[in-house]
Amino acid sequence: MPMKEDDFADWYLDIVEKAGLSDKRYPIKGMNVWTPYGWKIMRQIDGYIREEFDATDHDEVCFPLLIPETQFAKEKEHIKGFDEEVYWVTHAGKNELDERLVVRPTSETAMYPMFSLWVRSHQDLPLKVYQIVNTFRYETKQTRPFIRVREIHFFESHTCHETCEKAQDQIEEDIQILARIAKKICLPYTLLIRTEWDKFPGAHYTVGIDTSMPNGRTLQMGSIHHYRTNFSVPYDIEYENETGEHLPVHQTTFGMSERLVGALIGVHGDDKGLVMPPGIAPIQAVIIPIISKKSAEEVSAECARILRLLKGAGIRAKLDDRDARPGSKYYDWEIKGVPVRLEVGARDLENGVVSFYRRDTEEKGTISAEDIVPGVRMLLDVISESMMAKANEVQKSRIQDIDSAENIPQDKILRFGWCGCEDCGHKFEDTYGFKILGTPYHPEPYQGSCIICGKPVDKPAYAAHTM
RNA sequence: GGGCCUGUGGGUUAGCUUGGUAUACUUGCAGCUUUGGGAGCUGUUGACUCCGGUUCAAAUCCGGGCAGGCCCA
């Protein structure tokens, strides 16, 4: 059941604070401090992103944060889209700058003048780079940790290709990369081609990556764009082909932000707190010793042994040997969403087992102490699969077909017929109060008629309230 | 751009109308004790957003700044 808006806001902020993800008391709106546990999660995700891009022949780069105004203004649509939400650097020390500098809201305009120098011949193509950096956008609406912030941690990949088709192939590769990343985080998502009036400023087309949050709204986690030559022409990124012709490159970008963290809170969290997917959990298994006077030494020794084994096997394990009651430790690690808890007490020693608790389903059981490594490994796999399956179920149940304005559920993603024309699109958004997310990137069978004009259509459109 | 509201230990908060010793819970720290779902006891650290005004006296009243939140365009 979707949560009410206020309940969601309280619940979400509570988890962010209690799990130690972020401290929002920093005195600038929308700029929060990544606290250690939250940052570990983000780094875990970043690490996986690096792995994926490196494995697909992208090179990591790091561009300057500041962009000269003239460079920023070269692509007209682009600057119009960001005009209202960029930060400007206008002074250096006591001097006013001759040319103002933009604090990057995204890096197209920082990178492309350099691409113009780097790309000369078809042998330089494809050019595939990415960076993991922070960007800045002056949000005026209400901010919320990870979901709506003014300083945004994200990755962006930028590619240049000889032809439109080769750029399109890149988008297919991006979609594969996305699929693998999403699986790691156990996040379901939809790929929808955004409407003309909602695409990225300057893009030929935009694919939005959305997921559904517990308040019934959708959260856009990132996007993939095909630019064609929209940027390469104004930024003069040309290559010489085999026959000596000079042609503009075709470009793509792919980016996802710290909203992934917001999404995983929303998608997996429950009333006990965060639930971390094993793939990116900073701590995959926490060991709690159950000390009693008689067995203190034996229990400690066994815990140390298990910790050593798990770590040796590459499992991110932690021993919680604080001087506190077991119960209070349980609560601490449940809020943080640690997937597996292992308990070792006198009783377990006697039976040659280790007790476990699964965070996602709250099931308890035992693993033979001898098989602790394969046992934990299998548990983590099972948890990943079951979290993914459950999240997919929920996402599916959030989608509802409609064919008229009657009985519109406010907390669902609507699927309906739309002829695709801008007029009907705007009419739909105005009368229904929903935002059109777009049409499926991967074709899906559909027979219906435009909900506004009645024209028959063979592909659906999706709409939702957005975060 | 216009309007409204709010700032009290690390967190949550009482007190503000009617000016006078700042309340409680939680957290932190130390000791004792305890450990299979937030134990207990004792001791202890820690706050009135800032600047100015009124007053014998300001967390409290007034003005301004800063920060945050909400509503409207």
Q: What are chain A's domains?
A: 5-268 (3.30.930.10), 285-383 (3.40.50.800), 399-464 (3.30.110.30)
What are the structure tokens assigned to A114, written together? Answer: 């350099």
Q: How far is it, in rounded angstroms, from Cα A21 to Cα A218?
A: 22
Contact indicator for A216, A460 with CB cutoff of 8 Å: no
A346 closest-nt by C1' vs CA = B36
What is the rounded CA–CA span in Å between residue A176 and residue A100?
40
d(CA A190, CA A272) in angstroms, rounded, equals 28
Distance A390 CA to B19 C1' (A): 60
pTM: 0.96
Nearest nt to the A299 alpha carbon by C1': B35
In angstroms, the CA of A325 and the C1' of B21 are apart by 39
The residues of the protein lying within 7 Å (CB) of strand B read A 25, 27-29, 142-143, 272, 290-293, 323-328, 330-332, 334, 343-349, 355, 357, 362, 364
Q: Which residue is nearest to nucleotide B69 (CA to C1')?
A: A142
- The pLDDT score that the predictor gives to residue A2 is 66
Smallest CA–C1' separation from A17: which nucleotide? B11
Report the 3 state secondary structure along chain A: CCCCHHHHHHHHHHHHHHCCCEEEEEEECCEEEECHHHHHHHHHHHHHHHHHHHHCCCEECCCCCEEEHHHHCCCHHHHHHHHHHCEEEEEECCEEEEEEEEECCCCHHHHHHHHHHHCCEHHHCCEEEEEEEEEECCCCCCCECCCECCEEEEEEEEEEECCHHHHHHHHHHHHHHHHHHHHHHCCCCEEEECCCCCCCCCCCEEEEEEEECCCCCEEEEEEEEEEECCCCCCCCCEEECCCCCEEECEEEEEEEECHHHHHHHHHHCECCECCCCCCCCCCCEEEEECCCCCCHHHHHHHHHHHHHHHHHCCCCEEECCCCCCHHHHHHHHHHCCCCEEEEECHHHHHHCEEEEEECCCCCEEEEEHHHHHHHHHHHHHHHHHHHHHHHHHHHHHCEEECCCCCCCCCCCEEEEECCCCHHHHHHHHHHHCCEEEEEECCCCCCCEECCCCCCEECCEEEEECEC
Of all protein residues, which has its CA closest to the C1' atom of B67?
A: A27
Q: How far is the CA of A148 from the C1' of B22 (A)?
A: 38
In this complex, the nucleotide whose C1' atom is nearest to the CA atom of residue A350 is B36
Q: Which residue has the tokens 């990870």?
A: A146
Cβ neighbours of A85 (radius 10 Å) = 13
Tokens of A156: 């962006």
pLDDT of residue A405: 86
Q: Are A255 and A156 in contact, with CB atoms under 8 Å apart? A: yes
With distances taken from each CA to the C1' atom of nucleotide B49, the closest residue turns out to be: A27
> Distance, angstroms, CA A328 to C1' B38?
5
Is the peptide bond between A126 and the residue preceding it cis, with omega within 30 degrees of 0? yes
Give whole-number Cα distances, A403 to A278, A441, A460, in Å. 40, 21, 11
| Interatomic separation, CA of residue A324 and C1' of nucleotide B28, rounded (Å) | 15
Contact A316, A282 (CB under 8 A): yes
The spacing between the Cα labelled CA in A26 and the C1' in B48, in angstroms, equals 21
**Nearest nt to A144, CA vs C1'?**
B69
pLDDT value of position A24 = 85
List bases in chain B with any atom under 7 Å of a protein Cβ. Answer: 11, 33-39, 67-71
Residue A332 CA to nucleotide B27 C1', Å? 14
Which parts of chain A sit beneath pLDDT 50?
none
Distance from CA(A331) to C1'(B24), angstroms, rounded = 25
Q: Which residues, 6 or more positions from A448, have their beta carbon under 8 angstroms from its beta carbon?
A: A403, A416, A417, A456, A457, A460
Distance between CA atoms of A467 and A464, rounded to whole angstroms? Answer: 10
**What residue has its CA nearest to the C1' of B66?**
A27
Triad A346, A350, A356: Cα angle to 5°: 65
